[in-house]
Amino acid sequence: MKTSLVAGSARDLNEHAIMATRQIGSALANYGMNLITGCWRGVDQETANAFLRALDSQGVDPAGRYFQVHYAEHSQFPVDPALRIEVDSDEASYHESVNRCDSAIIVGGLGGAKKVAFEMITTNRPVFPLPLTGGDATDVYGDILRSWEENPVTGLTRSQFMQLSLPLNHGANRLMRLISASLSPQSDIFISYRRSDIPGAAGRLAHEVSEHFGPRRVFLDEKDISGGAEFAAYIGSVIERARVLICLIGPRWNVERCHEENDYVRFEVGRAIREGLTVIPVVAYGGQL
């Protein structure tokens, strides 16, 4: 289970920041993620309260799901001691928070959140600044876009990252999809097609699906099989780990070939069915089943 750190302003939250903290806290709980925050008012408190309320509504024990990095001298909101990670300085609080998380969400911020973002970027972990919330989040968002070619957010396309500039008016589901796309350890959407049929359409389909779910999650053989790999074994191992197979069917797909023992499309679709994947046929350019 992945853990997200939410960091930002302890005071003077704008309306976007207030809304974001509540949406994010609830969404992280509902998506089965863990949360870590500091012990300040503002972003820490608002996000933690929303997260804990969501867990309570599900009847879920927060132990092991929520972690408060707690520096007693600066503690501004109490939580159950069982949920605390006790530290003895502000510097220790910062290091403990960053070291324990897989991703970081930046909401506003007055300097400290920018430090968190820098550490995440230098250790190749994804950071999600929400620029409408102001402060550090706005600065970090701009910095990441300016250096995208050298330091992209892992697992995301540039256009996906730019979705962070949209307000969270209807919940944080879009943000959760971006976090899932970035943290996905493997491809779980497999695109099956015939190279003699419509390979260009397969590339475009992979691009469009990647823009929604993230490039890490989408497998297309022409870009994802390394040289020297044994085709059948490699494809079989990818399908074993996948959840969905999209079968692209064009005018030269030729269903009769699926009766041949050595047909690779037969192998891919058959393996997907045996593994219990969801198989989605997509018919294009006049193709027929």
pLDDT tens for residues 59-77? 999 999 999 999 998 888 9
Residue 26 reports pLDDT greater than 70: yes
Q: Which residues contact 149 (CB under 8 A, 6 or more apart)?
A: none
- What value does the mean pLDDT of the chain take? 90
Average pLDDT over residues 178-193: 89
Residue 188 reports pLDDT greater than 80: yes
Question: Using one digit for the tens of pLDDT, what is the confidence trace for 87-114?
Answer: 999 899 989 999 999 999 999 998 889 9
**What number of other Cβ atoms are within 10 A of residue 149's Cβ?**
7
Q: Which residues contact 204 (CB under 8 A, 6 or more apart)?
A: none
Query: Rounded to two decimals, what is the model's pTM?
Result: 0.81
Question: Using one digit for the tens of pLDDT, what is the confidence trace for 122-144?
Answer: 898 999 999 999 999 999 999 99
**What number of other Cβ atoms are within 10 A of residue 44's Cβ?**
25
**What number of other Cβ atoms are within 10 A of residue 230's Cβ?**
9
pLDDT of residue 185: 79
